[in-house]
Amino acid sequence: MQLKAIVAMSSNRVIGRDGDLPWHLPEDLKSFKRLTLGHPIVMGRKTMESLPGGRPLPKRRNVVVSRTLTEAPEGFDLINDLSEIRSELAGHETVFIIGGAEIFKEMLPECDEFYLTYVFAEYEGDTFLPPFEDDFEMEEIVSETENFEIRRYVKNRRD
């Protein structure tokens, strides 16, 4: 199984504000959909609550991670212990970790690669992407628009 992360970050490392995204970038959402469609997506409980209407994203197995929930909301699978991701999702070739910061902090080091939408602006926010630069190197810029570029990072090959 390949674990991949996907995240959008501003130039001052912001990824969230008041439980939501600080920006509206439809082109980035399209790319998120294109990359994740058909694969399980794993998210923290707060990110689940930030989805439109609190509903799961279609055509993907939606997995929520929580220590407090005892029952998953409709359309979601629940994992209480992040370390069980690999066994719970065994059989899937690719699994996407989609945030937020708490989940990235624990799971980014476990990922083989990740897609970073780098937004060319500073935003105010309350949620930041933990440091990853020591563990990953940028492999390619997948696409670029006026407002952002999508970078693919891979795990450092050095030991």
Binding residues for ligand NAP (CB under 6 A): 7-8, 15-16, 19-21, 43-47, 50, 65-69, 80-82, 98-103, 106, 127
Measured between alpha carbons, how far is residue 79 from residues 40, 54, 64, 129 in Å? 13, 17, 6, 22
Measured between alpha carbons, how far is residue 4 from residues 31, 41, 64, 115, 144 in Å? 15, 10, 16, 8, 20
Shortest reach from residue 46's CB to ligand NAP, in Å: 3
Question: Which residue is nearest to ligand NAP, using beta carbons?
Answer: 100
Give 29 or 138: the residue with its C-beta nearer to ligand NAP: 29
Give 151 or 159: the residue with its C-beta nearer to ligand NAP: 151
Measured between alpha carbons, how far is residue 146 from residues 46, 119, 135, 149 in Å? 30, 9, 28, 8
Give 106 or 154: the residue with its C-beta nearer to ligand NAP: 106
Shortest reach from residue 143's CB to ligand NAP, in Å: 16
Shortest reach from residue 159's CB to ligand NAP, in Å: 27
Say how far apart CA 18 and CA 42 lie, in whole Å: 21
The helix (H) or strand (E) run that includes residue 141 is strand 136-144
Give 62 or 127: the residue with its C-beta nearer to ligand NAP: 127
Residue entry with tokens 């602006």: 121
